[in-house]
Amino acid sequence: MIHFNAAGAGQVSSETLRLTQAYLQEEYETGAYETELAYAATLEGEVYENIALLLGAEPRNIALFDGATKAWVTALNALDWSHGTRVVVTPYEYAGNLIALAELQRRYGIVIDVMPLLPNGDLNLEWLAQHMTEQVRLVSVVHVPSCCGIVNDIEAVGNILCDFPCFYFVDACQSAGMLALDVRAIGADVLTAAGRKFLCGPRGTGFAYLSEAFLSVAQPRFTDLSRASVDICGGVSLGVDDARRHEYAERNNAAVVGLNQAVKERLSTPYNIERGVYRHLQQQLAQTAHINMIAPGAQQAGIIAFTHDFCSAIDVVVYMREQGVNAWPGYASHTPYYMLGQGYDRFVRLSVNNKNSLDDISILIDLLVKL
């Protein structure tokens, strides 16, 4: 199979697969608790250190979760909310995040403002600067949305927000592993990501960067036994006050071992390898008959979305899979403010990572021409 669906789930490397399987085999042979102890250096140290290197952070500011949405919602719910508090999002916000915000709207009466876009689809940063007030508690920006390849200027947003007492959340679910990230340059208080997408780690893995400013005020809705203890009178004492107090004790350690390997591989590989492949795919699709690309913004990377004049997205994807090429029929409802607002329902999503080649693109384009 030729895999153009890293935005859904990247293909793990043979070494990531081997290490994940080896961990499960050792659990089978010696016991789960015993295997966890044997891998303590990786599970309690190395994986946090490598993710910190990936993000330009410190290990104490990294927390592991079973997915990006769990990480994002956990951070959101650790903040205090009151009636009239304002939250600013962009039209590219992921539906899973919007569901969590809608619950806060129902419970606390928060107000959600949607940042407008410039005519080309980029964020209207002038509007953001003009509408920042003390009532804005959170600004949330998706770095690269799941619906298209626009790369939002998260550093420019961070530069605006540094003068205001609000929290800055960056959803890097689609950009982690695809673009270089530096949380200090971004100015993010919270950055969340999945392991399974462009990082090519196992499913069921995710992580968050939580800044010192966030940690100083955030109160997790629940602190698990791994970070707290209860005395004979029922009094609760918290352990080290780092990002891990927001984690849950139970996790898939085999997947975490695989995630650590995937991050190590990303750290050892330059980020510019896939850029040429991506640009070539863009150019070829633009010249292919009956293809209508969805490409807002001045900068794109990783993901390309399009519709076909005569075939539904599902039919196109099924046809390509039958010929050995993976793609994905995207849901406009997953990015509702933008995609539904543009009148889309389903669309074909292609996503490129550093395992793809120019030959892969030639095969894909030949299939679309035949279609």
Task: Determine the 3-state secondary structure of 230 from DSSP.
Answer: strand
Are 172 and 97 members of one domain?
yes
Are 230 and 350 members of one domain?
no
The total of structural domains in the chain comes to 2
For helices 47-55 and 253-267, the axis angle rounded to 10 degrees is 40
**Which residue do the tokens 């003068």 mark?**
163
Answer for the pair 217, 79: CB distance below 8 angstroms, yes or no: yes
For helices 313-322 and 358-370, the axis angle rounded to 10 degrees is 120
Are 226 and 303 members of one domain?
no
- Residue 229, pLDDT score: 81
Residue 62 bridge partners (DSSP)? 209
Answer for the pair 348, 313: CB distance below 8 angstroms, yes or no: yes
- Residue 234, pLDDT score: 86
Q: Among the three residues 223, 240, 267, which one is the final residue of a domain in this structure?
A: 267
Domain of residue 26 covers 14-267
What CATH number should be reported for the domain holding residue 65? 3.40.640.10
Q: Among the three residues 267, 282, 317, which one is the final residue of a domain in this structure?
A: 267
Instruction: Indicate the pTM of the whole model.
Output: 0.96
- The burial class, CB within 10 Å (0-12 / 13-18 / 19+), for 48 is buried
Q: How many residues does the chain have?
A: 371
How far out from the chain centre does Cα 215 lie?
A: 21
Are 140 and 242 members of one domain?
yes
Task: Determine the 3-state secondary structure of 66 from DSSP.
Answer: coil
Q: Among the three residues 236, 267, 298, which one is the final residue of a domain in this structure?
A: 267
| Ranges of residues in the chain whose predicted pLDDT is under 50 | none
What's the pLDDT tens digit per position in 241-266?
899 999 988 999 999 999 999 999 99
H or E, element range at 181: none
Q: In what order do the strands lie in the sheet with 346-351?
A: 291-294, 303-308, 346-351, 328-331
Are 43 and 189 members of one domain?
yes
Answer for the pair 151, 90: CB distance below 8 angstroms, yes or no: no
Q: Which of 42, 47, 2 has its CA nearest to residue 199?
A: 47
Report the distance separating Cα 79 and Cα 216, nearest Å.
11
Report the distance separating Cα 208 and Cα 77, nearest Å.
14
- Residue 343, pLDDT score: 95
H or E, element range at 229: strand 228-230
Task: Determine the 3-state secondary structure of 135 from DSSP.
Answer: coil
What letters, b where the CB count within 10 A reaches 16 and e where it falls short, cover 259-291?
A: bbbbbbbbeeeeeeebeebbebbbebbeebeeb
What letters, b where the CB count within 10 A reaches 16 and e where it falls short, cover 99-128?
A: ebbeebbeeeebebeebebeeebbbebeeb
Task: Determine the 3-state secondary structure of 342 from DSSP.
Answer: coil
- Residue 60, pLDDT score: 97
- Residue 222, pLDDT score: 78
What CATH number should be reported for the domain holding residue 314? 3.90.1150.10
Are 244 and 356 members of one domain?
no
Are 213 and 296 members of one domain?
no
Are 229 and 364 members of one domain?
no
What's the pLDDT tens digit per position in 95-143?
999 999 999 999 999 999 999 999 999 999 999 999 999 999 999 999 9
Answer for the pair 340, 347: CB distance below 8 angstroms, yes or no: no
* SS3 of the chain: helix, strand, coil, percent, to 5: 40, 20, 40
CB atoms closer than 10 angstroms to residue 64: 23
Are 256 and 328 members of one domain?
no
Are 70 and 156 members of one domain?
yes
Are 250 and 129 members of one domain?
yes
Are 107 and 184 members of one domain?
yes
- Residue 274, pLDDT score: 82
